[in-house]
Amino acid sequence: MSKLDNPVPAASGVTSRRMADAIRFLALDAIERAADGHPGAPLGGAEVATALFTRHLKCNPADPHWPDRDRFVLSNGHGSMLIYALLHLSGYAGMPIEQIRAFRELGSHTHGHPERDVDLGIEVTTGPLGQGIANAVGMAVAEAWLSATFGSEIVDHRTYALVGDGCLMEGVAHEVISLAGHLRLGKLCFLWDDNHMTDDGVTDFSISEDVRGRFRVAGWQVIDADGHDVEAVSAALLLANQDPRPTLIACRTLIGKGLPRLEDKRGAHGGRVFAEDLTEARAAAGWTAGPFEVPADVAQAWREGVDGRNHPAYVAWKARVAALPADKRALFERAQRGDLPEGVIEALAAQARAMAEAAPSQSTNQSTAEIVDLIAGLIPELLPGAPDLEGPTNCKRGLAAFTAADNSGRYIHYGIREHAMGSMMNGMVAHGGVLPLGATYLVFSDYMRPPLRMSALMELPVITIYSHDSIGIGKNGPTHQPVEYLASLRAMPNMAVFRPADAVETAECWEVALSRKHGPSSMICSRQALPTVRRDAGENKSARGAYVLVEGEGGARRVTLLATGSEVSVALAARALLQAEGVSTAVVSMPCWEVFEDQPEAYQAEVLGSGVVRIAVEAAVKLGWERWIGLEGGFVGMRGFGASGPGDQLFEHFGITAEAVAGAARARL
């Protein structure tokens, strides 16, 4: 048990009930003023949050980025006024009372659901249920690895998530409950707002399983506590710290506690709060402070409970870091900043050159596996994982596993839990200090689409590798053949979708992806071997998103063939047919649309060609390609789902051939 875990009593004369009521009335005043919001969770969770924040949570409101702070996740993000009230009472400078007043107004930081902003004390964006607790499990993995790697004097903090019934019904929750128990993430604690109520009414409508038992079978410690008793919750939090297992504290609460009209009622979840409700609630609580007013003694007690309690530990931690050997300290601080080690970009450039020279015929999946191998040797905080596809994605080589017994291992066995992986990677990147890499088949990206969206929304640089990217996988058939995924990933704002054509472009795309700081990347790879189409690697051409791979010959360009990934070589073969007929034809490789869209218009026009026939070829649906080919251009690709058969036969079967591409061009000349 760490010395930080000792609960401190509330400051002189201020009862824990008043400290919790301060949350309640900030929440109620804000929700009433906004005429919108969810009162149920902040009212029901006020004591639980008070116990955690004023007695246990390690944080420093004056330094919200303190790497060794405990992480707090409000997984039931609709209860956002709970975290805003907590941050205000804790003294975060970014959360003054004006922000509380501006709850849900356009331009405020007090959004309908909490949005990641570490300056404010908000670790992750939450709202879509289940995401927050899965983020928390990722954070706990990051902490465990960092602690094992840098030592507990530098990294030794807990991860807490406040979770509602909704979070615990979602499938992703069960994936991470199972995995967290398996990995014995002992510094992880879920505080369950067990109020027996959801938006639809009593939980009995839809669940009768023994939730406590469900955690126990997964290897968790389970503690019951009266969720309206700060002492009881605090005592449970102490027990949580003393057990090597992750802990669920089942906090029995009343939804909307303190709001007489709605307390313990379905309507408390998201119902309107009116002025009369405030009058009634104030009378019931004996709360005499006005709207948005926190009595001075209560405010003081909160500051003492949060800042006063934690300050010595913060100072001591700073001293320990300062005393680290210079190289260890530099390594820790670099990883915390999320910077790459020196030499990574250079190594990737060298890899591109080597591949241009060697010109292998291999899958881009294999090229990516080699790069993961390469950078794993250069980036000590790189933590790859491929949910039950370690063999096909080949990205574990030489790395020990992160296990319950050895937290310094770097390969994460996620099990067959893609959704968990996606959400956990968000938590790991949000935590900082580690660089997770997830790998799965492209079709399974749908299983993790909710966290992909959250990574894009949070602007987290999460990189996921997707292999088996088209009908090229062959006999496994249409269930495993992506056709709509390039389009659906391209539809997501702030997601960079890379589909390299060969080993050279793969190295180039990795360089771009690893350099992205404010958004996720999808690295799309083939299962089948692809010829090397790039023989020059002096300049990272993929860094412009699209480029002329081969210009037309024999006069002004008449045709531009646009392609990505495995279809670049189809386009090259089509070009040969057209050039043989005297048609000057350029091939443009487009490994990343999003990057190309950011290029100057003049460059785009130069690459695409003006007044030429444009034909696109991609073994996927057309949606979006009109952006590049217009209404007059041609598209050779998929019109529906794939089929089961050898990959080369499928390209013929679906008409994705050089002849078809050349034919589409001829028809427009």
First-to-last alpha carbon distance for the chain, in angstroms, is 77
Is 585 within 8 Å of 575 (Cβ atoms)?
A: yes
Are the CB atoms for 495 and 520 separated by under 8 Å?
Answer: yes
Which of 409, 406, 328 minimizes the C-alpha distance to 154?
A: 328
Of residues 209 and 342, the one with the C-beta less far from a second copy: 209
Site string for a second copy, 411-430 (x = CB under 8 A): --xxxxxxxx----------
Give CA–CA dist 168/150, Å, rounded: 33
Which among 515, 562, 451, 455 has a CA at the least distance from the CA of 175?
451
Q: Which residue of 45, 121, 181, 472 would you call a contact of a second copy, by CB under 8 A?
A: 181
Q: Which of residues 136-165 bind a second copy (CB under 8 A)?
A: 165
The answer to whether residues 237 and 55 touch, using CB atoms and an 8 Å cutoff, is yes
Residues 190-209 contacting a second copy, CB under 8 A:
198-200, 205-209
Residue 341: both structure tokens together:
């080690």
Among 16, 50, 126, 564, binds a second copy (CB under 8 A): 126
Which residues in 500-559 contact a second copy (CB under 8 A)?
Answer: none
Min dist CB 491 to a second copy, Å, is: 4
Residue 508 gets which letter from DSSP?
Answer: H
CB of 281 to a second copy, least distance (A): 22
CB of 478 to a second copy, least distance (A): 6
Which residue, 34 or 154, has its beta carbon nearer to a second copy?
34
List, in order, residues 6 or more apart from 2 with CB less than 8 Å away: 156, 241
201 is known to lie in a ligand binding site: no
CA 621 → CA 572, 599, 625, 640, 641, distances in Å? Answer: 20, 25, 9, 7, 9
Alpha helices (runs of H) in 379-448, residue ranges in sequence order: 390-393, 418-431
Among residue numbers 296 through 315, which ones bind a second copy (CB under 8 A)?
none
Which of 39, 45, 166, 663 contacts a second copy by CB under 8 A? 166
441 CB contacts (<8 Å, ≥6 apart)?
389, 392, 466, 467, 468, 480
- Judged by beta carbon, residue 371 or residue 650, the one nearer a second copy is 650
Query: Applying CB under 8 A, does 338 fall inside the site for a second copy?
Result: no
Choose, by CB under 8 A, the member of 443, 513, 559, 595 that binds a second copy.
Answer: 443
CB 487, min distance to a second copy, A: 4
Nearer to a second copy, 70 or 418 (CB): 418
Closer to a second copy at the Cβ: 434 or 456? 456
CB 53 within 8 A of CB 90: yes
Nearest distance from residue 625's CB to a second copy, in Å? 8
How far apart are CB 238 and a second copy at their closest, in Å? 26
Q: How far is the CB of 252 from a second copy (least distance, A)?
A: 19
Nearer to a second copy, 320 or 627 (CB): 627
DSSP per position, 583-638: --EEEEE-S-HHHHHTS-HHHHHHHH-SSSEEEEE-SS--TTTHHHHTTTSEEES-
Angle between helices 275-285 and 16-34 (to 10 degrees): 170
**Nearer to a second copy among residue 334 and residue 449 (C-beta):** 449
Q: How far is the CB of 211 from a second copy (least distance, A)?
A: 8
The answer to whether the annotation marks 166 as part of a ligand binding site is yes
Query: Catalytic pick from 32, 115, 170, 418?
Result: 418
The C-alpha atoms of residue 605 and residue 263 are separated, in whole angstroms, by 63
Residue span binding a second copy (CB under 8 A) among the ranges 64-72, 127-135, 239-247, 315-323: 127-135
What whole-number distance in Å separates Cα of residue 238 and Cα of residue 277? 36
Q: Annotated binding residue at 527?
A: yes
Q: Which is nearer to a second copy, 314 or 635 (CB)?
A: 635
Stretch that binds a second copy, among 14-22, 346-354, 358-366, 633-641 (CB under 8 A): 633-641
Q: Degrees (nearest 5) of the Cα angle 568, 448, 644?
A: 50
Question: Known binder of ligand: residue 480?
Answer: yes
The structure tokens 């990051």 sit at: 142
Regarding 170 and contact with a second copy (CB under 8 A), the answer is yes
Q: How many helices (H) and strands (E) does the chain have?
A: 27, 17
Cα separation of 18 and 14, whole Å?
A: 7
450-489: contacts with a second copy (CB under 8 A): 450, 453-454, 456-457, 474-480, 483-484, 487-488
Of residues 29-48, those binding a second copy (CB under 8 A): 34, 36-37
Q: Does 611 bind a second copy (CB under 8 A)?
A: no
Among the listed residues 361, 626, 667, 669, the single contact to a second copy using CB under 8 A: 626
Are 628 and 601 in contact, with CB atoms under 8 Å apart?
Answer: no
For residue 19, what are the contacts with CB-CB under 8 A and spacing of at least 6?
10, 50, 54, 89, 230, 298, 301, 302, 305
38 is in an annotated binding site: yes
Closest CA to 123 of 37, 57, 55: 57
Hey, which residues between 347 and 406 contact a second copy (CB under 8 A)?
388-392, 401
Any binding-site annotation on 444?
yes
The label of the residue with tokens 């309507």 reads 267
Is 468 labelled as part of a ligand binding site? yes
Residue number, 92 or 485, with CB nearest to a second copy: 485
Q: Give the contact letters, 211-240, x = binds to a second copy (CB under 8 A), - = no.
A: --xx-xxxx---------------------
- Is 104 an interacting residue with respect to a second copy (CB under 8 A)? yes
591 is in an annotated binding site: no
Give dist(CA 438, CA 354) in Å, integer: 25
Q: Report, in Å, the least distance between residue 175 CB and a second copy.
A: 5
Give the contacts of 249 (CB within 8 A, at least 6 positions apart): 189, 190, 191, 192, 223, 224, 225, 233, 236, 237, 240
Tokens of 131: 């995401």
620-622-626 Cα angle (round to 5): 145
On whether the CB atoms of residues 134 and 126 are closer than 8 A, the answer is: no
Pairing, β 585-589 against β 547-550: antiparallel
Asked about 553 being catalytic, the answer comes back as: no
Our CB check for a second copy shows the closer of 320 and 475 to be: 475
Q: How many residues interact with a second copy (rule CB under 8 A)?
A: 106
Cβ atoms of 359 and 532 within 8 Å: the answer is yes
**Is residue 101 a contact residue for a second copy (CB under 8 A)?**
no
Are 615 and 633 within 8 A, CB to CB? yes
> Is 72 labelled as part of a ligand binding site?
no
With CB under 8 A as the contact rule, the residue among 261, 624, 655, 657 that binds a second copy is 624
Q: How far is the CB of 76 from a second copy (least distance, A)?
A: 11
Sequence ranges of the binding site for thiamine diphosphate:
78, 127-129, 166, 195, 269, 444
Sequence ranges of the binding site:
38, 78, 127-129, 165-166, 195, 269, 444, 468, 480, 527
Catalytic residues, which ones? Answer: 418
Sequence ranges of the binding site for Mg(2+):
165, 195
Sequence ranges of the binding site for substrate:
38, 269, 468, 480, 527
